Structure 1
Amino acid sequence: MLHINRENLKSSHQLVWFIIDFLMLGLLILNLAFIIWDSIYNFVAIQNLLKEHAPALQSAYHPIHERFIFYDMIFVTIFLTEFFVRWGYAIKASVYDRWYFYPFIHWYDLVGCIPVGSLRFLRILRVISIIYRLHQYRIIDITSTKIYRFVNFYYEAFMEELSDRIVLKVLSGVQDEVRRGSPLFDRIQKDILYPRRDMLSDWISQRVAEAAQEGYVPNRGALRNYLEGRVDQALKQNLELSRLKYLPVVGPTIQETLEDAVGDIVANVIHQILEDLASSSNHAFIEDIVNVFLPTPDQVAADETQNQALIDLIIEILDAIKGQVKVKHWRAQLP
């Protein structure tokens, strides 16, 4: 059910124009109903059917049908009068940059007033524009109506089906281009990624340092205890090391000392690696990794096996994207 927000209507500075909108909306609906009914009545079979079953209705409406143009012109006169009044107000209020912009922007108002059968139905565009304007100013809320939800559901379903087919077609074309050795792949690597190796190195270095500082530094104690515990457990399960305890006198002491030393060494190594990653000194290490993934163009051209592996990876990624695109989300909303 469509409700009118009377508070917004009263508080608006365009109350007169909104009242005119409601009047025009009612006249347009009445006029369109009149046009549809007269188009149906125009069939001889309908006229004969009314003569047989409702002769009074047929005899009352037939004179109106014969003078349909006259009655339609009454509506057209009202619509044109309202159009020129709004045009004059737009000129006075400088709504548009030029005084002659109004008829071009509201062309459907003029075209719908042409008394030709096929053009008369363009008046439905004026109905839509009035409803949209009232909704935009929150006088009415069309999203709460069942008609809007029904139309919007199938519109979204249609757009999803259409966009999915377009995306699948585009992705399939990209896959074909990659398989044929399209220069696009080489352009991405040589002209886009390779010249930006330094920027990528700086960015990755900064992100790795931030991740290490936020993830490791606050939890270094817990991580050290965890590493030492895991090393101790691994050393106790080692057969060669467990035999040291059978040495007389010093065996257990040597075994315990080795366990503590190895655990401490492992924890310190991990600690130093993460400390380096969390500082600016990780830049050289990250730069070496980026150089491996983004070698010079000469190295890329020489390594065909690596290129083919990367091409296969891109194709698999596109296949995964196509599989996700094929999912019909609108079907999940069906009752």
Structure 2
Amino acid sequence: MFTINRENLKKSHQTIWFAIDFLMLGLLILNLTLIIFDSVYQFEGIQNFFQQQLPAFYNVYQPIHRNFIFYDLIFVSIFLTEFFLRWAEAVWHRTYQRWYFYPFIHWYDLLGCIPTSGMRFLRVLRVISIVYRLHRYGVIDFTRTRVFQFLAFYYEAFMEELSDRIVLKVLSGMQEEVREGSPLLEKVHQNIIYPRKDILIGWISDRVADMASQGYVPNRGALRQYMEQCISDAIRQNPEISRLKLLPIFGKQVRGTMEEAIGDITAHVLNQVLEDLASSRNHDFINDLVDVFLPDHQEKLMHKGTNDTELPQRQDNEVLINLTIEIIDAIKEQVHHKRWRDQLD
């Protein structure tokens, strides 16, 4: 069961009203219990059971059953008194913009006071409103109760199952549209990706610069040694360069000088390329690279229908379609995972 937070009760400066709330909560629970019991008691078989098994209780409760409307009106009078007191308090503090708004906003309190079988159960809404008001002010915390945790768990499980089925249905429909040649991919390209090409270029440029600086600069010496070793091995295996050793006097020197020169040139070129990629100068290169993968719509229309570009474009579309379908499959697999089952385990 929930506990009463006395500190929040004192800080609220509404101790009297909260005391009335607790009193009304007890009376409502008692009244609803009597209503449910009297509804069951009206069956003749139930009355015969009490008459035979519990005659003392039968003799006490039979007059109450016959005059139940009178006893219910006692509760109704208390509920109406509390209703008008709160209405007067709302008017005094100008809780609402108009004085007559209170009965319309708290309609369930007023209709629940009608002593008919259909309206009596509206008093359950009054119980809920009182408990919610006490919880909102921090006087009680019903979220820690086992009943609330039990109901909340199965409510979340139900909503997860329902939402998962809806999401899977939508994703399956998207896959079918992509397979049938839906203009979705073209719209994504023209309306989402291409207008943000500059942002995409900047992001790729930064990532390439980070990768080059973090991967190459710390390992520059080791990479240079590796390249020189590879070039030296390749030169030794090259028959034309090996013949330079046959030259008289300067053969070995020429061969060694050529080996060093080729190694220095290759290492210098590689170093310059990676340093350019690691700096802000890679922006133009990335821009040209992205233009190849994301051509303008007008350029695509100009080249559309030509034999040289029709086949590659069709292949690119098939690759993009398959990639999109696989991405949706991955999302569906994640949706299939039931979090409420993990909590249950």
Alignment partner, residue 332 of structure 1: 342
Alignment partner, residue 165 of structure 2: 165
Q: What letter is aligned with 2:200?
A: I
Q: What letter is aligned with 2:277?
A: I
CA contact (8 A) 2:231 2:259 kept: no
Matched, 1:264 2:268: yes
Structure 1 pair 172/221, CA: closer, same or farther in 2 (3 Å)?
A: closer
In 1: Cα distance, 2:285 partner to 2:266 partner = 29
Alignment partner, residue 296 of structure 2: 295
SS of equivalent residue, structure 1 residue 97:
coil
In 1: Cα distance, 2:228 partner to 2:14 partner = 81
2:224 to 225, 228, 232: 228
With 123-132 and 226-235 compared, the bigger mean Cα shift is at 226-235
SS of equivalent residue, structure 1 residue 262:
helix
Structure 1 pair 259/185, CA: closer, same or farther in 2 (3 Å)?
A: closer
Deviation at 1:249, TM superposition (A): 3.7
Q: What letter is aligned with 1:203?
A: I
TM-score (norm. length: structure 1): 0.85
| Sequence identity percentage | 46
Alignment partner, residue 201 of structure 2: 205
In 2: Cα distance, 1:333 partner to 1:314 partner = 32
Deviation at 1:54, TM superposition (A): 1.0
CA contact (8 A) 1:202 1:283 kept: no
Q: What letter is aligned with 1:50?
A: F
Gaps of 5+ in 1: none
Structure 1 pair 237/24, CA: closer, same or farther in 2 (3 Å)?
A: farther
Deviation at 1:160, TM superposition (A): 0.5
Deviation at 1:290, TM superposition (A): 4.4
In 2: Cα distance, 1:41 partner to 1:237 partner = 102
Structure 1 pair 291/87, CA: closer, same or farther in 2 (3 Å)?
A: farther
Q: What letter is aligned with 1:43?
A: F
In 1: Cα distance, 2:163 partner to 2:88 partner = 43
CA deviation digits over 1:170-195, x for unaligned, max 9? 222223333344455544444x23xx
With 23-32 and 264-273 compared, the bigger mean Cα shift is at 264-273
Structure whose alpha-carbon radius of gyration is higher: 2
Gaps of 5+ in 2: 246-250, 306-312
In 2: Cα distance, 1:65 partner to 1:263 partner = 103
1:311 to 312, 318, 321: 321
In 1: Cα distance, 2:259 partner to 2:111 partner = 98
Structure 1 residues 69-108: aligned runs within 5 Å: 69-108=69-108
Deviation at 1:216, TM superposition (A): 4.7
Deviation at 1:206, TM superposition (A): 2.8
CA deviation digits over 1:118-177, x for unaligned, max 9? 332222222112111111111111122111111111111111111111111222222333
Structure 1 pair 236/99, CA: closer, same or farther in 2 (3 Å)?
A: farther
In 2: Cα distance, 1:120 partner to 1:73 partner = 11
Q: CA RMSD in A?
A: 2.9
Q: How many corresponding residue pairs?
A: 328
Structure 1 pair 64/150, CA: closer, same or farther in 2 (3 Å)?
A: same
With 39-48 and 325-334 compared, the bigger mean Cα shift is at 39-48
With 88-97 and 299-308 compared, the bigger mean Cα shift is at 299-308
Q: What letter is aligned with 1:119?
A: M
